[in-house]
Amino acid sequence: ICMYKNDSTVLHGDSGGPAFAQGKDGRFYQVGVNVNILTSEYSSSAFSWKSPSQSPSALASFSTDISYYCPWIEARTGGEVKCQTFKSTPIVP
């Protein structure tokens, strides 16, 4: 999953932490596990986003999609965690 928000970003040290997305109901849902960030050091002209204020070099974050693991997560948590369908929203026109 590639994620970007102008006023926040994943920073070094956030790897392995949860990646959340806000649903239409206003609640936040874990959709992934943080893996890496794309910084301006590795960007090209294909990326024209403005950099977030907290990290001028961070452009986007990449997360592992956890939907594949939902049955395993539900089983291991004894049903305490329930997976739901979450429709992503494209951010690039």
Q: Is the Cβ–Cβ distance between 10 and 1 less than 8 Å?
A: no
What is the structure's pLDDT at 78? 93
Taking CA atoms, 21 is separated from 1, 16, 24, 43, 52, in Å, by 11, 16, 10, 24, 17
Closest CA to 22 of 3, 47, 37, 39: 3
Burial class (CB in 10 A: 0-12, 13-18, 19+), 36: middle
Q: What is the pLDDT of residues 65-76, one digit of tens each?
A: 888 898 999 999
Q: What mean pLDDT is predicted for residues 21-26?
A: 81
What is the structure's pLDDT at 76? 95
